[in-house]
Structure 1
Amino acid sequence: MEQQKNSSLESCQQAIRIADDATSFRHSNVSQNSKKSFSFYMSISSLWLLALITSWDATALAIALPAITSQLRGTTLQSFWASISFILGAAITQPIYVTVSDVFGRKQPLYASMLLFTVGSIVFATANSIIALIIGRLIQGLGAGGLDVLEEIILADITNLKERPFYLGLISGAVAIGSITGPIIGGLFSQFVTWRWIGWINLPITGTAFLLAFSFLRIRPIPLSLRAKLRRLDWVGILLFIIGATATALPLSWAGALYSWSSWRTIVPLVIGLAVLVLFVLYEKRPKDAILPYRIFSNKTAIFSLVSGLVHGFILHTLLLYLPLFFQAVYVEAPLEAAKSVLPICFLTIAFSVAAPIIIQVTRRYRVLLWFGWAILTLFMGLTYLIEPSKSPAKTYTFQVFLGMGLGIVFTATQVPMQASVKDVDDTGLAVGMLVCFRLTGALGGLAICSTAFISVFQRKINSLVPLPESFSILQDSRHAIELIPIINTLEIPGELLKEVLGVYHKAFQAVWIILTTFSFVGLCASLFIEELTLEREEIGRQGFEHDS
């Protein structure tokens, strides 16, 4: 009995010491805000590179997709899966990275995600079949999920809320630069060298980011034993989420394309997946360190910030995939020309994703800015439907300017209220992680739903043109719609029929624009419920940066 009392006393004393250390650590960091060390800036540089490479890799494939599909003899559905598999891998693993990094610390999960991303890049670059390429993209996604979420979590760890908008601007600049250069370099590689360099170029950038993180990223470790950390993990929640998310995403990706919506192959896994996700949500009330912590959803600002992030991911990733394809298919542009054609949306996205946090930093307000971003995004997403293929693409460029403004503003303006909504500063990383997870889940849903709509509308419209010339007969199976895009202007076909075929592509893209406009309006409505919270907090959490002495 006496030993038990002594053991309990020692445990209490240890807990008090840990709490005292954490408190003194936060106070010391508050006083050191203005004195950033060289290691801090090198760590920011590592995060900047990770944000650059993940955003670059997510957008470079869109331009090269038709050439890859043609060379590897893939179908339209398989070409979409080259993008969907990447998002699927990232979306499923991101909540796991969030909870593991909160229990084990940030650095080990970060290194593991770098390794997976590198392996996936090599598999992608050496793929000799569309299936091998999809596997490579899936492995890349498993790593990119960690890179994407951890660079934002670590940024929240090593900065306080008062100064964070400035650093959010820096990281958002990297994301936007990656989104701009991705289509351009992807077009250059696919047209003049080889699309395989889309994978190879990741290696030196990821390697540099790893060396900087390994050498300079000094995050305070979690003071628990390995056994205690393993016990804290929400193993059941992790398993339920993986099963539910995968079973839900797969049928959404093939419904209406590979199998009909009424097919048991679509209905059965979808119902099972949704049921498991409901069970997952109900179960997450129990674990102390849940993969889906209920306390993060304790106020309406957090809830509607997450909805805003979900819808933004739905629109951003889908638009960046389909807009280059639109220029290639409807305006019959080469990959590099299509890359140039999407520069307006890319440049404005980067400009306003950097400008938005600067405006917030100066004004200390974010609500009106967020409303403005959603309003112009919704308006001009809807106007995109009115673009006619027979007209000059000048109107498209103009609309892209305003779409880029909206996308850039919402991207960073949504992050601030989400982080301001947490009651305990130690939950900031979890809040950031949840937002990134919701954003990527939205991207997965957007790519799956819009690929289904695109293929379904294309199939219905192309059937009205039969019989087609033999050179175009492949289009009677809509699964080959993307495969034909790179060579559509080289086929010998009467001008009037070619115009009609391009019109079929246009109708399929219009279906995508309608879906994106509808979801953008949902995002606008959600932003109206976000409250204006104070940004004057200076605390730093338990995994904050250890500055040079």
Structure 2
Amino acid sequence: MHSIHLADVHDEGKIPNSTPEAPSPVPEDPLPKKKTRKPFSFYMSVVALCLLAVITAWDATSLAIALPAITDQLHGTTFQSFWASTSFVLGVTITQPIYVSVSDVFGRKQPLYASLLFFTVGSIVFAVAQNMETLIGGRLIQGIGAGGLDVLEEIILADITSLKERPVYLAIIALAIATGSIAGPILGAVFSQFDWRWIGWINLPIVGTAFILCILFLRLRPIDVPLSVKVRRLDWTGIILFTIGATATSLPISWAGALYPWSSWRTIVPLVIGLVVLVIFGFYEKRPANPILPYQLFSNATGTASLITGLLHGLVLYTILLYLPLFFQAVFLEEALEAAKSTLALAALVIASSFLAPIAIEFTRRYRFLLWAGWVFIAVFLGLWSIVGLNTPRVQTYVFQALLGIGIGVVFTGTQVPMQASVVHVDDTGLAVGMLVVFRLFGALIGLAIGSTAFSSEFEKHIVALGPLPEQLSALNDASQAVAFLPTFRTLELPAELTDNVIGVYLQSFKAVWYILAAFSALGFIGSLFIKDLSLERDDVGRQGFEQST
């Protein structure tokens, strides 16, 4: 296997005496190279990466379903409940590009250990919290750590495998991510019923095991450059501009339609400031040698289309993961745990298809048609989900979920392959992986904001149409309380007609979300048409690859 050692690389991390060429479709590898047997330490490193993938995915999805119980026990407000959920997402979104850039200059392991430390400290602070302020702080620290874990486990996988062999390992990591994402709501519901603090405590043995495995087995080639040189290489101005711009932009996007309306100055002012700073950041990033925003990734249609469709997939995926369990709670009046069980059809097929899609790519060496089919499944069955109501047979809801899950899983892992195949220099693979993760998470933030706004506006319109509400339902006059009111709504003894009418309001509000997601899925399909079938027959690994000789 051909590998690039540090001695062969200039200070700026480029391959000497090479002419950049865009990847092109190559139908066959006429002289396949003999596979070398990987050491035991390699496989144990993959196990460590899987543990990191599971824990970050499950932690990102476990809190939402347990939050009402937590807020009630700690006597929190709606405002504090919002920040308990949002602080984690903001921590992840804002720090991920910084982790990508820092790890490309300093190496992967130091940022990885730092993110493990942040995540562990945040988990402990969350688990021992006696008030909502402490809990919010813990979730923010967790998010700062999870941002690194989430992006670095995918970057390191790209470092230690070649493009030719990577689809198999992508399938393994995808299985871990999907398992964590699906287990999160279920475990969150279980823990919320006896002790929600285990949402934090359960992280510690898993993180500890992953840390030990990384120390013992993760042997990456070091970047043998003096610390002072590494510090100078960092894009400090870019980091500052991005942090300010991303924070100022993400905050109003996250609270618009939930805490404050889009028309409020509290939303408009920071959003405008953030966008202006991000524009300045975009222009500035053409100057540094090691920018946070690597422009070379946008040099071809396949890379650009992969990033755009990755953003759209994150927008759709995370919004579905939030609103589908709520749909079963509101429309079928199920408790949180029962609602989580009702989404198992989606969960099972997301896991299966996210694992099988890279396997199919491994055998066919093609991915384009698979991505098209995935986006079609998402768009069609999100559209069909809008006809699901109280009288829909349960079998139909399971079939629709299963077929939707197939599309979500296929696109989740399938998009990673063309993104990585599109890079010109192998040392840019880590940057490509990191940017795809960043775009996916930023899409999630946008999707959750759009979903919240659509749901609230539709709920407000339809609840007013019911006329004056009885005292028991007075909280529903404020659309922002619609989700928090669900546990109470299930326990009320109301006339059957009134109950059905209120359920109808919830149903119409969810339909607005499904329509919007279906429209974005159609855009995802259009974007996937610009992705080309590039050759996967590349054996080289980057300068931070695995130390085979150790």
Cα 1:257/1:317, change in 2 over 3 Å = closer
- 2:280 partner letter: L
Q: State the 1:403 CA deviation.
A: 1.0
Which digits, 9 at most, give the CA deviation of each residue in 1:272-317, with x for residues without a partner?
1111111111111000100001111110000000011111111111
Q: How far apart are the structure 2 equivalents of 1:483 and 1:538?
A: 52
1:179 matched residue in structure 2: 181
Q: What are the residue-to-residue correspondences of 1:101-140 with 2, within 5 Å?
A: 101-140=103-142
Q: Aligned residues, how many?
A: 530
Q: How far apart are the structure 1 equivalents of 2:239 and 2:59?
A: 27
1:326–1:509 contact (8 Å) kept in structure 2: yes
1:252 matched residue in structure 2: 253
Q: How far apart are the structure 1 equivalents of 2:522 and 2:271?
A: 26
Q: What are the residue-to-residue correspondences of 1:46-65 with 2, within 5 Å?
A: 46-65=48-67
- 1:223 partner letter: D
2:190 matched residue in structure 1: 188
2:157 matched residue in structure 1: 155
Match of 2:94 among 74, 92, 96: 92
1:417 matched residue in structure 2: 418
Cα 1:106/1:489, change in 2 over 3 Å = same
1:314–1:446 contact (8 Å) kept in structure 2: yes
Give structure 1 stretches of 5+ with no counterpart. 1-13, 25-29
Which digits, 9 at most, give the CA deviation of each residue in 1:177-235, with x for residues without a partner?
112222222222123x2222111111111111011001110101111111100100011
Which digits, 9 at most, give the CA deviation of each residue in 1:465-496, with x for residues without a partner?
34322222122222322222123221232222
- 2:366 partner letter: R
Cα 1:32/1:187, change in 2 over 3 Å = farther
1:506 matched residue in structure 2: 507
- 1:298 partner letter: S
Deviates more, 1:394-403 or 1:279-288: 394-403
- 2:486 partner letter: I
Q: State the 1:459 CA deviation.
A: 2.6
2:41 matched residue in structure 1: 39
1:77–1:479 contact (8 Å) kept in structure 2: no
Whether 2:149 is the aligned partner of 1:144: answer no
Deviates more, 1:140-149 or 1:508-517: 508-517
Q: State the 1:62 CA deviation.
A: 3.2
Q: How far apart are the structure 2 equivalents of 1:187 and 1:340?
A: 10
Give secondary structure in 2 for the equivalent of 1:128: coil
Q: State the 1:498 CA deviation.
A: 1.7
1:76–1:481 contact (8 Å) kept in structure 2: no
Q: How far apart are the structure 2 equivalents of 1:522 and 1:238?
A: 31
Whether 2:273 is the aligned partner of 1:272: answer yes
Which digits, 9 at most, give the CA deviation of each residue in 1:6-55, with x for residues without a partner?
xxxxxxxx99665699999xxxxx98952111111111110010011111
Give secondary structure in 2 for the equivalent of 1:365: coil
Cα 1:137/1:390, change in 2 over 3 Å = farther
- 1:485 partner letter: L
Cα 1:414/1:183, change in 2 over 3 Å = same
1:4 matched residue in structure 2: none
- 1:213 partner letter: C
1:165 matched residue in structure 2: 167
Q: What are the residue-to-residue correspondences of 1:266-415 with 2, within 5 Å?
A: 266-415=267-416
- 1:107 partner letter: K
Give secondary structure in 2 for the equivalent of 1:285: coil
Q: How far apart are the structure 2 equivalents of 1:19 and 1:269?
A: 41
Calculate the TM-score normalised by the size of structure 2.
0.92
- 1:263 partner letter: S
Cα 1:198/1:410, change in 2 over 3 Å = same
- 1:205 partner letter: I
Give structure 2 stretches of 5+ with no counterpart. 17-31
Cα 1:74/1:446, change in 2 over 3 Å = farther
Cα 1:410/1:494, change in 2 over 3 Å = same
Give secondary structure in 2 for the equivalent of 1:422: coil
- 1:165 partner letter: P
Q: State the 1:171 CA deviation.
A: 0.4
Q: State the 1:267 CA deviation.
A: 1.3
Q: How far apart are the structure 2 equivalents of 1:17 and 1:394?
A: 60
1:70–1:484 contact (8 Å) kept in structure 2: no
Q: State the 1:75 CA deviation.
A: 5.3
Give secondary structure in 1 for the equivalent of 2:386: helix
1:125–1:199 contact (8 Å) kept in structure 2: yes
1:75–1:479 contact (8 Å) kept in structure 2: no
Q: How far apart are the structure 2 equivalents of 1:23 and 1:283?
A: 25
% same residue: 64
Give secondary structure in 2 for the equivalent of 1:353: helix
Q: How far apart are the structure 2 equivalents of 1:298 and 1:534?
A: 17
2:437 matched residue in structure 1: 436
Q: How far apart are the structure 2 equivalents of 1:455 and 1:546?
A: 53
Q: How far apart are the structure 1 equivalents of 2:326 and 2:132?
A: 19
Cα 1:77/1:403, change in 2 over 3 Å = farther
1:257–1:456 contact (8 Å) kept in structure 2: no
Cα 1:129/1:454, change in 2 over 3 Å = farther
Q: How far apart are the structure 2 equivalents of 1:22 and 1:249?
A: 34
Q: State the 1:74 CA deviation.
A: 4.6
Q: What are the residue-to-residue correspondences of 1:463-478 with 2, within 5 Å?
A: 463-478=464-479
Deviates more, 1:305-314 or 1:113-122: 113-122
Q: How far apart are the structure 2 equivalents of 1:313 and 1:529?
A: 19
Q: What are the residue-to-residue correspondences of 1:233-248 with 2, within 5 Å?
A: 233-248=234-249
Q: State the 1:515 CA deviation.
A: 1.8
Which digits, 9 at most, give the CA deviation of each residue in 1:504-525, with x for residues without a partner?
2222212211221111111111
Cα 1:256/1:55, change in 2 over 3 Å = closer
1:63–1:338 contact (8 Å) kept in structure 2: no
- 2:425 partner letter: D
Give secondary structure in 2 for the equivalent of 1:386: coil
- 2:42 partner letter: F
- 2:542 partner letter: G
- 2:154 partner letter: E
1:75–1:480 contact (8 Å) kept in structure 2: no
2:29 matched residue in structure 1: none
Give secondary structure in 2 for the equivalent of 1:49: helix
Deviates more, 1:68-77 or 1:153-162: 68-77
1:253–1:451 contact (8 Å) kept in structure 2: no
Cα 1:476/1:168, change in 2 over 3 Å = same
Which digits, 9 at most, give the CA deviation of each residue in 1:331-350, with x for residues without a partner?
11111111110101110000
